[in-house]
Chains A and B, each alone.
Chain A
Amino acid sequence: MDIFFEFLKTTGFFNMTVGNAVMILIGIVFIGLAIIKHYEPLLLLPIGFGMIVGNIPTIASMALGVYDEGSLTMGEDGIRYSPGSILSYLYYGVSQGVYPPLIFLGIGAMTDFSTMLSNPKLVLLGAAAQIGIFLTLLGALALGFSPAQAGAIGIIGGADGPTAIFLSSRLAPELLGAIAIAAYSYMALVPVIQPPIMYLFTTREERLIRMAPPRVVTQWEKIIFPIAAFLICTLIAPGSLVLLGMLFFGNLMKESMVTERLANTARTALIDIVTILLGFAVGASTEAQTFLRPQSLMIFGLGALSFAVATAGGVVFAKLMNVFLTEKINPLVGAAGVSAVPDSARVVQMVGQQEDPHNYLLMHAMAPNVAGVIGSAVAAGVLWSVLGG
Chain B
Amino acid sequence: MNIRLYILATFNLDAIGEANGISIAVMGMLIVFCALGLIFIFIGCLPRLMVYLEPWLPEMESHAPAPEESLPLDRDKIIVAIATALKQRQRHN
Give the B-binding residues of A (Cβ under 8 A): 116-117, 120-121, 123-124, 126-127, 130-131, 133-135, 137-138, 141-144, 146-147, 150-151, 218-221, 223-225, 228-229, 232-233, 236-237, 257, 294, 297-298, 371, 374-375, 378-379, 382-383, 386-387
Residues facing A in B54-87 (CB within 8 A) are 54, 57, 60-63
15 sample A-B contacts, Cβ–Cβ < 8 Å, listed by A number: A124-B36, A124-B40, A137-B28, A142-B12, A143-B7, A147-B24, A150-B21, A220-B57, A220-B60, A224-B53, A232-B42, A236-B35, A297-B3, A378-B32, A387-B24
Q: How far is the CA of A173 from the CA of B42 in the complex (A)?
A: 37
Nearest neighbor of B58 in chain A, beta-carbon distance: A220
Seed contacts A120-B44, A236-B38; 6 additional CB < 8 Å A-B pairs: A121-B40, A127-B32, A142-B16, A147-B21, A229-B39, A379-B32
Q: How far is the CA of A371 from the CA of B3 in the complex (A)?
A: 37
Q: Which of B28, B44, B54, B57 contacts A382 (CB 8 A)?
A: B28
Q: Closest CB of chain A to B49's CB: distance in Å?
A: 8
Given A116-B43, A218-B50, A236-B38 in contact, is the A138-B33 Cβ separation under 8 Å?
no
Given A141-B15, A232-B42 in contact, is the A257-B24 Cβ separation under 8 Å?
no
Q: Which of B10, B27, B35 contacts A144 (CB 8 A)?
A: B10
Q: How far is the CA of A228 from the CA of B42 in the complex (A)?
A: 8
Residues facing A in B1-50 (CB within 8 A) are 2-3, 6-7, 10-13, 15-16, 19, 21-22, 24-29, 31-40, 42-44, 46-47, 49-50
Q: Do A144 and B50 touch across chains, with their CB atoms under 8 A apart? A: no
Q: Do A220 and B50 touch across chains, with their CB atoms under 8 A apart? A: yes
Residues in A neighbouring B15, C-beta threshold 8 A:
141-142, 144
Q: Closest CB of chain B to A374's CB: distance in Å?
A: 7
The number of chain B residues with a CB under 8 A from chain A is 43
Nearest neighbor of A137 in chain B, beta-carbon distance: B25
Q: Which of A147, A221, A378, A382 contacts B36 (CB 8 A)?
A: A378
Q: Do A123 and B36 touch across chains, with their CB atoms under 8 A apart? A: yes
Residues in B neighbouring A150, C-beta threshold 8 A:
19, 21
Q: Which of B10, B29, B53 contacts A130 (CB 8 A)?
A: B29
Q: Which of A116, A134, A233, A371 contacts B28 (CB 8 A)?
A: A134
Q: Closest CB of chain B to A57's CB: distance in Å?
A: 25
SS of B interface (majority): helix
Residues in A neighbouring B24, C-beta threshold 8 A:
134, 137, 147, 151, 383, 386-387
Q: Closest CB of chain B to A72's CB: distance in Å?
A: 37
Q: Closest CB of chain A to B69's CB: distance in Å?
A: 15
Q: Do A237 and B3 touch across chains, with their CB atoms under 8 A apart? A: no
Residues in B neighbouring A151, C-beta threshold 8 A:
24
Q: How far is the CA of A374 from the CA of B35 in the complex (A)?
A: 9
Residues in B neighbouring A220, C-beta threshold 8 A:
50, 53-54, 57, 60
Q: Do A236 and B19 touch across chains, with their CB atoms under 8 A apart? A: no
Q: Do A147 and B19 touch across chains, with their CB atoms under 8 A apart? A: yes
Q: Do A236 and B31 touch across chains, with their CB atoms under 8 A apart? A: yes
Q: How far is the CA of A145 from the CA of B47 in the complex (A)?
A: 47
Q: Closest CB of chain A to B61's CB: distance in Å?
A: 7
Nearest neighbor of A383 in chain B, beta-carbon distance: B28
Residues in A neighbouring B21, C-beta threshold 8 A:
137-138, 141, 147, 150
Nearest neighbor of A236 in chain B, beta-carbon distance: B35
Q: How far is the CA of A238 from the CA of B93 in the complex (A)?
A: 75
Q: Do A130 and B32 touch across chains, with their CB atoms under 8 A apart? A: yes
Residues in A neighbouring B36, C-beta threshold 8 A:
123-124, 126-127, 371, 374-375, 378
Q: Closest CB of chain B to A326's CB: distance in Å?
A: 16
Q: Do A233 and B35 touch across chains, with their CB atoms under 8 A apart? A: yes
Q: Do B7 and A374 touch across chains, with their CB atoms under 8 A apart? A: no
Nearest neighbor of A112 in chain B, beta-carbon distance: B63
Given A120-B40, A237-B31 in contact, is the A135-B46 Cβ separation under 8 Å?
no
Nearest neighbor of B46 in chain A, beta-carbon distance: A221
Q: Do B35 and A232 touch across chains, with their CB atoms under 8 A apart? A: yes
Residues in B neighbouring A233, C-beta threshold 8 A:
35, 39
Q: Do B7 and A127 touch across chains, with their CB atoms under 8 A apart? A: no
Q: How far is the CA of A294 from the CA of B13 in the complex (A)?
A: 19
Q: Do B35 and A124 touch across chains, with their CB atoms under 8 A apart? A: no
Residues in B neighbouring A382, C-beta threshold 8 A:
27-28, 31-32
Residues in B neighbouring A225, C-beta threshold 8 A:
43, 46
Q: Do B22 and A117 touch across chains, with their CB atoms under 8 A apart? A: no
Residues in B neighbouring A228, C-beta threshold 8 A:
39, 42
